[in-house]
Structure 1
Amino acid sequence: MNKVINSLQVVKIATINGEITLLTSGPLRLGGLHRSRIGCLTFEYIKPLSAKLKEATLEIAATTTTDPSHVKWRLWINNFPLTREFKPQNTIELKEEYFNKVLFDITPILHARESEEVKLAIKYDGPGEIEINHANLVLAFEAKEAVSSYAYFSGALIIPPNESSKFNVPLNVIDKYSGELKAIALAKSRHSMASIYVNNKEVFSLSGLSDLEEIHVENIQVKNNNEIEVKHEIHRENAIKKPIYLSTFILASTKIIKPYIRIKDVKLITDDKNPRLVIKIVNVGQSRPDKLWLLLIDAGIIINRLKLPCLKPGEEHEIEMPFKKQLRSKHLLSLRTVWTKLSRTFFEETRLTTSLTDNA
């Protein structure tokens, strides 16, 4: 293959009070002489406390060795029968295989059966074998403290080595520096190097791509009409010269009213009780976090973890944490606050000073 194939198609362009999330699982091979015809892919689905699920799209990328009309499968989501038919919305016929995309609206299923995991079960009854290159959940959550505009593309942008391709993405800009890119790339050669440019500025570059590469880039400058360029390079002369596939692409402009948890003060108390740290934290952000933890870390290892109440903006909280003398290295001790807002995780880390820990 020596030419670019662009079959990326718009799935949805929208603006919501909330945010868009991409979860990925795979790959999975079924059928053939020595493989099972039944398999399962699992997604960790934890609905944000401050959000409501609005839409859920299941996207499956599957490579088959036979024409899609001969493929037979059955799908279940959390034990709910989804389909008995293989009817891809997009198929690309290549030299020795077919690359297919199948999309389902599974919003009613997730509304009816909420759990912390979503399991996709597949039974393959067709000839030869099928490879589920990846499966995605594209989730739109409604939330009061966020607004997001997004453009969601599915299909495949297939780029041979040392070639590039451009396409345009319209977007309702919430804030020009609030852009984020979520994408799934499939590499056929471990020597492949991919670069992605948004409006002539490189935002992502990686050599040695894996079979399934999840790409997530934040704080991109975006505008109403964005030019996306994807470059694929293989410089090694004797390397396998195979294309990369950009299988899923989402460009979003998202603004979230964020909390920010700061460690305000740390004291070591060594009175008649056991030594302990007294830590004061404060929320200097503009909203309450969904979840909040405080971690004590010794030489990179978490040795204590406390779940804390979610502070309102401006609220302070004091915590006591046991402080053992038998720590690995008092010079590498740190405290870390970790908090979540919608689908995002944030943290701040403070190194404990030598003068503080030497008194223990």
Structure 2
Amino acid sequence: MQGVFDNIVDKVFNGDLYTVFKPLDLQLHGYHSKDNIVLNIPNRRSRRIEFGLLEVVTESSSESVDWRLKLNGISVTKEFKPHYMVRYKDRLISKFVYDVTSLLNTEESMRREWVNLTVKHEGGSPVKLRKIQLATLYEDTDASTSLKYWTGLLVLYPGESYPLAKCKNIGGHGIRISSYIPQRTSRLIMLINGMRYELTSPYTEGFEEYIINNINTSLGDDTIALVNEGEGGAIITSSIILYSIRMPIPVIEVEDINASRVGGQLKIIVSLMNKGESSPDFIVFTVLHKGSMLTSMKINKPLKSSERSISELVVPGIVKTGEPITLRIVWSKLSRTWFTEKQILVP
């Protein structure tokens, strides 16, 4: 065993957690010295980010690397000084962890629903990017997130285990584990209060994210451990995110649809009702025919719980009578999105 894990966050936030995980196999050197990586953070709608943590994992032959890292054009670091390092075979695996909350809350960043990460190699040994992860907490009083976050680099060899510290009432409903499981015969086991959750290789080279939902927790102290039970060599784990999110959900149901021809156009009147416990941030109507979009309309006006709304869509009259079209209704709350579809026969 080598490496270490640190519990860097153990807190309840007002807001909704959204995590972007991006496995990479991107080599930077003298001939290809710069790259831009886009990370989507959807439905932000200019909300503040209460918590933003950026993780970058690299692979190189040595620490003699000169690089520069920027987020949305703002410098994050100019030095290759890893916060965590382990040796794996003949390679040096390095991990960088940055609190980027303030960078995500600049006026320009708040208008975007994506993050642009720029990495530039400026000399020294070539470096390969292996993983980028961005954990964000959309600030909002409608949601509550209990978050426990472990980060580091931990190498477990076959038969080895690593117990995480006992946690007082995890109360968690989901867990995200970022690990490198190199071979098909490798098997990483997560033990939570004696329950086994098995993670196996996806047959790809590099880090992958494994998500476990509806985990078993207790009313008292919870115990968590990682175990390498496989025969395929070492397993590298770089982060564990344990979370429980409580948020009232909007549930949009279609009560009635009326389609009629008016002149050379098709008019669709849709009656909706919100049978959920909160208002969606927005509702989008899209009319499709054979996979092609005919029209789209977005409504930003809140549809409160138990409220009804009537919307009218006008569609070009290019679809023949009797042919089916699809009405897709999409709605969102914080980082989550739902949709429903209804088939309509053109009159």
Q: Same fold (TM over 0.5)?
A: yes
Residue-by-residue CA offset, 1:156-204 (whole Å, 9 max, x unaligned): 34456x7674544655658x5x612223333445786766564455667
Separation of aligned partners in 1, 2:226 and 2:293: 41
- SS of the aligned residue for 2:108 comes to coil
Separation of aligned partners in 2, 1:215 and 1:342: 23
2:334 is equivalent to residue 342 of structure 1? yes
Distance 1:62 1:142, change over 3 A: same
* Residue of structure 1 in register with 2:260 after alignment: 269
2:100 is equivalent to residue 103 of structure 1? no
* Residue of structure 2 in register with 1:139 after alignment: 136
Q: TM-score, normalising length from structure 2?
A: 0.81
Shift in Å, 1:152: 0.8
* Residue of structure 1 in register with 2:75 after alignment: 81
Report if aligned partners of 1:50, 1:143 keep a CA contact under 8 Å in 2.
no
Shift in Å, 1:42: 1.9
Shift in Å, 1:102: 0.9
Report if aligned partners of 1:191, 1:209 keep a CA contact under 8 Å in 2.
no
Selected match of 1:123 from 109, 120, 123: 120
Residue-by-residue CA offset, 1:93-144 (whole Å, 9 max, x unaligned): 2220111111112222222253323222222234332111112222223211
Report if aligned partners of 1:74, 1:122 keep a CA contact under 8 Å in 2.
yes
Separation of aligned partners in 1, 2:299 and 2:211: 29
Report if aligned partners of 1:159, 1:232 keep a CA contact under 8 Å in 2.
no
- SS of the aligned residue for 1:268 comes to strand
Aligned length: 337
Separation of aligned partners in 1, 2:245 and 2:169: 8
2:172 is equivalent to residue 181 of structure 1? no
* Residue of structure 2 in register with 1:250 after alignment: 241
Q: Which runs of 5+ in 1 are unaligned?
A: 235-240
Shift in Å, 1:350: 4.3
Distance 1:292 1:171, change over 3 A: farther
Report if aligned partners of 2:193, 2:222 keep a CA contact under 8 Å in 1.
no
The percentage of counterpart residues that share the same residue type is 23
- SS of the aligned residue for 1:114 comes to helix
* Residue of structure 2 in register with 1:237 after alignment: none
* Residue of structure 1 in register with 2:37 after alignment: 41
Separation of aligned partners in 1, 2:99 and 2:241: 17
Give the aligned CA root-mean-square deviation in angstroms.
Answer: 3.4
Distance 1:136 1:350, change over 3 A: closer
Q: Which has the higher strand share?
A: 2
Separation of aligned partners in 2, 1:170 and 1:334: 51
Q: TM-score, normalising length from structure 1?
A: 0.78
* Residue of structure 2 in register with 1:291 after alignment: 282
* Residue of structure 2 in register with 1:30 after alignment: 28
Letter in 2 for 1:9: D
Separation of aligned partners in 2, 1:45 and 1:341: 13
Distance 1:246 1:228, change over 3 A: same
Shift in Å, 1:285: 1.0
Report if aligned partners of 2:15, 2:141 keep a CA contact under 8 Å in 1.
yes
Shift in Å, 1:30: 0.7
* Residue of structure 2 in register with 1:20 after alignment: 17
